[in-house]
């Protein structure tokens, strides 16, 4: 597969709290870093996203007394999974993993900073309406095909890919450069959505072919 000047690599949420030892650790989350480093030089354009929550964020289980982590509640925009507090603005957990080294990244997009709504996708908050601004950025830069890597495959990576397709952009998830949370079959469930939406799942090796 040939990568050209209209392609962008979007690296999703490779932050301390999503890596081993973090507040919402994804199993082997830090294993994505080597894969990302291998493929990043192929791309002229790289974007990073960063979960960036206020300490009282509505997605935190601590904002819902009597609830347990990973329970779901109905909020104004739909069902919300309640997460342990993570990626709190200015905390070490919100920082990018120290081994992630992508100085060529052209944009760092912070998401999830509105205390009243979560934001899995790099394109829209969880109401699926409020934009983050990424779509406009890609359009103005004439970046028309997105490749996604990072954390977590079944949430922020997956929702970003689905929204890219909703916007009419070809979307490729680099499966071996992602890791999943695996909450109640979440990976299998979102793969059904990928098939329906036309999200392509590829391995990093395909970029070198």
Could you list the active site residues?
A: 13, 111, 156
What would the pLDDT profile of 179-197 be if each residue is shown by its tens digit? Answer: 999 999 999 999 999 999 9
What pLDDT, on a 0 to 100 scale, did the predictor assign at position 209? 74
Q: What is the pTM of this model?
A: 0.97
What would the pLDDT profile of 108-120 be if each residue is shown by its tens digit? Answer: 999 999 999 999 9
pLDDT lower than 70: segments of the chain? none
Domain range 7-54+87-208, CATH architecture: 3-Layer(aba) Sandwich (3.40)
Domain ranges of the chain: 7-54+87-208
Rama region for 110: left / alpha / beta (φ>0; ψ in -120 to 50; rest): beta
């Amino acid at each position: 597969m040939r990568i050209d000047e209209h392609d962008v690599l979007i690296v999703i949420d490779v932050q301390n709290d999503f890596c081993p030892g973090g507040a919402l650790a994804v199993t082997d989350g830090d294993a994505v870093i080597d894969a990302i480093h291998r493929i990043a030089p192929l791309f002229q354009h790289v974007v990073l996203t960063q979960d960036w929550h206020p300490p009282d964020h509505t997605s935190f289980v601590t904002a819902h007394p009597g609830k347990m982590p990973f329970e779901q509640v109905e909020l104004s925009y739909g069902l919300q999974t309640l997460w342990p507090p993570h990626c709190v603005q200015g905390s070490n957990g919100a920082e990018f993993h120290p081994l992630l080294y992508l100085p060529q990244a052209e944009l760092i997009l912070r998401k999830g900073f509105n205390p009243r709504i979560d934001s899995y996708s790099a394109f829209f908050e969880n109401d699926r309406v409020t934009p983050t601004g990424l779509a406009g950025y890609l359009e103005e830069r004439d970046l028309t095909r997105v490749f996604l890597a990072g954390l977590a495959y079944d949430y922020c990576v997956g929702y970003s890919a689905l929204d890219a397709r909703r916007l009419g952009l070809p979307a490729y998830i680099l499966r071996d450069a992602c890791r999943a949370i695996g909450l109640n079959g979440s990976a299998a469930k979102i793969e059904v959505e990928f098939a329906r939406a036309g999200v392509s799942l590829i391995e990093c090796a395909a970029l070198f072919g």
